[in-house]
Structure 1
Amino acid sequence: MFLPLHDGVPLKNMKTPLATRFLIGLCVAAYLFTFYGPLGEDAVVGGLGFIPSVLFGTEVLPEGYPFVPVEMTLATNIFLHGSLFHLIGNMLFLWVFGDNVEDAMGHVRFVVFFLLCGIAASLAHAFITTEPHRPLIGASGGVSGVVAAYLILYPRVKIWGLFLKGIPLHLPAYWTIGLWFALQLASAFLGGDESVGWFAHLGGFLVGALLIPLMRRRYDPVLARAQAQELRAPP
């Protein structure tokens, strides 16, 4: 298990990561609505969560569900979370890695990027899951895409994080994210917790890696070298 805490990479193209904060705020608001709103958890998950069997037409929900066209649940499920720990874990990854990926893209493209990764993750889960009747919820797929983009942009930046049962380590991104990805891969193919959409994580990661070269700001080799020298400089 790995939880990122801090990376220390300064923003170069913007003062405030507005899109990252907006997405975090939206997820928090959705969590509050799910557990403290008038509808209740089951109704919100049934109405906005993604159920593969419903998308494929092999199952029909009661009248009034889902709340939006079933195709839209590929995206609406991204903002729902099943527990406080689920929410905090995803938002911590988004907070640490999202600002620098947003800085490399701009506000609007970052939101589009996050949604595309999340939708791709939902589809990956839909085609591979052995339990298509179970709702999929959570930002993990979109967050996985952000993590992949960060790895490509800043592979050697050292990240503070907590490993296993709280061991603090300070390692380059290619180590920390590499270990995280290895865990996702092993869990997906060797039988991890069945309540977790491991293939959604892998799908989001793959699409994030494919999209970042297309959606980042125009590459400037002079600026890139300057940034690399700054990041390598001793504190």
Structure 2
Amino acid sequence: MFPISDDNPEPGTPIVTWAIIAACVGVFFWQFSQAPGAAELAVYQFGLIPGVLFGSTEMTDAPVPAWATVITSMFMHGGLAHLGGNMLYLWIFGDNIELAMGRLRFILFYIVCGVAAALSHALLVPASTVPLVGASGAISGVLGAYLLLYPRGRVRVLFIPFPVILLRTFYVPAIIVLGLWFVIQVASGLASPVEEAGVAFWAHVGGFVAGMVLVPFFKRRDVPLFHKAAPKVFDGRNAGRRGPWG
């Protein structure tokens, strides 16, 4: 199952969510407009390197302080699939969380979850010289918040059977989609040595847990936890239509 949208409309415009997506896409194009050597260097300069952060390794000619890479790493990505997957999840789930918190609190929430995710990974491999990049830790916080705010929200998922014969889409409650996603992250983290894993599973877990813990403090007072999904409104004027050809 692969989420492609949700059916949980909220009034308002998620400007911050769109701005984060635009920033990540802009940084990605900047990364890959560099010469191959310069593009790789940028990952090391702006990605989070645990050894540099904790002082066991030094980065020569670093353009930003080591602590700042906890933030800059959130806007770097390792490839188009990495960027696309992260931005899809942020586009699906970020708007509801932004509108439930307000713009300024959402920005702070997003950054704090990203920091918690990065540290969850870095503390497990404090001497590592492998850079951590990607928005997935911060976005995991958004997923954790969504689980507590809209567990009954409907998420449209793409089902790809094996062997692939016919692609299908259907709606699944958010608690199942996000709960299953979290279980997969934990199981993958337990099964893969942190140093050898190509995906920072524990960053995802740390961000998700941070989002669940922090959402009660960041949401607006009029937004309840475990919010019931908005019911669909039936328009009687379309009752006679039998399809898009009506």
Same fold (TM over 0.5): yes
Shift of 1:131: 6.7
Shift of 1:142: 0.3
Shift of 1:125: 0.4
Q: 2:17 aligns with which of 8, 16, 20?
A: 20
**Which position in structure 1 is the counterpart of 2:33?**
36
**Which position in structure 2 is the counterpart of 1:9?**
8
C-alpha separation in 2, matches of 1:68 and 1:130: 19
**Which position in structure 2 is the counterpart of 1:202?**
205
- Specify every segment of 5 or more residues in structure 1 that has no aligned partner in the other structure, as ranges: none
2:215 matches 1:216: no
In structure 1, what residue type is equivalent to 2:8?
V
RMSD of the TM alignment (CA)?
2.4
Cα separation, partners in 2 of 1:129 and 1:164, compared to 1, 3 Å: farther
**How far does the alpha carbon of each residue in 1:52-95 deviate from its partner, in whole angstroms, 9 at most, with x for none?**
00011111122x12x11100101110000000000000000000
Shift of 1:229: 6.7
For 1:119-138, list aligned pairs within 5 A: 119-129=115-125, 132-138=128-134
- Specify every segment of 5 or more residues in structure 2 that has no aligned partner in the other structure, as ranges: 162-166, 236-246
**Which position in structure 2 is the counterpart of 1:106?**
102
For 1:119-198, list aligned pairs within 5 A: 119-129=115-125, 132-163=128-159, 168-191=169-192, 194-198=197-201
C-alpha separation in 2, matches of 1:101 and 1:229: 14
In structure 1, what residue type is equivalent to 2:230?
E
C-alpha separation in 1, matches of 2:234 and 2:173: 14
2:88 matches 1:85: no
Secondary structure of 1:54's aligned partner: helix
C-alpha separation in 2, matches of 1:230 and 1:42: 46
> Which has the greater radius of gyration?
2
Shift of 1:6: 1.3
Contact persistence 1:55–1:71 (CA under 8 A): yes
The structure carrying a bigger helix percent of its residues is: 1
Shift of 1:137: 0.2
Among all aligned residue pairs of Structure 1 and Structure 2, give the percentage whose two residues are the same amino acid: 40
Cα separation, partners in 2 of 1:33 and 1:174, compared to 1, 3 Å: same
Shift of 1:3: 2.9
C-alpha separation in 1, matches of 2:70 and 2:22: 20
Contact persistence 2:3–2:155 (CA under 8 A): yes
Secondary structure of 2:52's aligned partner: helix
Shift of 1:130: 7.6
Shift of 1:160: 0.6
Question: If the length of structure 2 is used for normalisation, what is the TM-score?
Answer: 0.85
Contact persistence 2:152–2:229 (CA under 8 A): no
**How far does the alpha carbon of each residue in 1:111-134 deviate from its partner, in whole angstroms, 9 at most, with x for none?**
111111011111110111387110
Report how many residues are paired.
Answer: 227
Q: 1:52 aligns with which of 42, 50, 53?
A: 50
